Amino acid sequence: MATVETSVRDGVAHLVLNRASALNALDTDTVLAMRAALDRWRDDPGVRAVVVRSGTPRAFCAGGDIRAIREAALRGDFAATTRFFREEYALNQAIAEYPKPYLALIDGVAMGGGLGISVHGAVRVATERSVFAMPETVIGFYPDVGACFFLPRLGGALGRYLGLTGARLSGADAVTAGLATHFVSSADLPEFTAALDTTEPADVLAKYSRTAPPSDLDDTGDRIAAAFAPGPLSEVADRLRADGSAWAETTLGSLAAASPLSLRLTDELLRLGERDTLAACLRRDLAVASRLVREPDFAEGVRAKLVDKTGDARWSYGSAEAVPHERITELLGG
């Protein structure tokens, strides 16, 4: 069965992710199929807009197929891992530059690579079932797919918080943060999607978009801004301990569960991404991801979180402070 289903109806191209058993996790074949469809429709005068959605209500896209990447790395097939990242990041860039309206209907889980095929698009529709997250630090990786471009551009240190902790956002949170552009009830999505075939996207969005429910960020935004303001990671932990709230305790737990190497690397990449273009960030992503999958923390993190699901990862360093600066420089290729 094809991992991506495509069709064109009345000028609207539909790209439906179809790996339900894997929560639409992206593998190389899926990425190549998406890119081929977008390239085919780019200059087709019969296509006026592209809609990307899931064929299952369980998830939009749970990210890259990390277990498959780990397996390739363990057998030393780094050509395969590098090829996946190269094709994935090229797809992200193509989406960001797409000349026609690109609408992502993010109904369900969107993590890691799922944000890469949605957040770079012009229109990102969230629902009450949406879950947004970049949870890579807990598997010994880092927020890739251009996240080090879009996360630093969120307000109030929110991007640093999301990138380091992997915290989840609801659809309402995503609208408040700016990761989603519109909020539509999941019950309205079938009518919404059908209406796109006969009506201009802007008019359909105007008809079906709703004011998003209250966001948890309304309560935690100031705490996030204070705790994750610029400064060393040790200061972030100190600020969280001084905060003392239940949210702060949960956040400290998330940081403690993450790979110290990933935390240091992510923090540096977010800093670099503040002043770079998306293209520059994606070029850096390819270099860093290709190196990081060779690190013990990646294999160990994926094992503990996704394979054995024991949550007992044994990291290479005991704390972020213990990671030598030279290790970060090496991973960055400096």
Active site residue 5: no
Instruction: Return the amino acid letter for 142.
Output: Y
How distant, in Å, are the alpha carbons of 30, 262, 265, 302 from that of 268? Answer: 30, 10, 5, 22
Active site residue 64: yes
How distant, in Å, are the alpha carbons of 163, 291, 320, 321 from that of 327? Answer: 20, 11, 12, 12
315, 318, 319, 325 alpha-carbon torsion, rounded to 10°: -80
Active site residue 244: no
| DSSP label of 64 | B
Give the residues across from 170 on adjacent strands. Answer: 131
Active site residue 311: no
Catalytic residue among 27, 87, 136, 267: 136
The SS3 of residue 183 is strand
Catalytic residue among 65, 107, 144, 295: 144
Start-end of H helices in the chain:
28-42, 66-74, 78-96, 113-116, 147-150, 158-165, 171-177, 189-196, 201-208, 217-227, 233-243, 246-257, 260-273, 278-292, 296-302, 325-332
Q: Which pair of tokens denotes residue 167?
A: 């915290």
Catalytic residue among 27, 63, 64, 267: 64
Catalytic residue among 63, 108, 112, 113: 113
The SS3 of residue 103 is strand
Cα separation, 181 vs 223, whole angstroms: 24
The residues that are catalytic are 64, 113, 136, 144
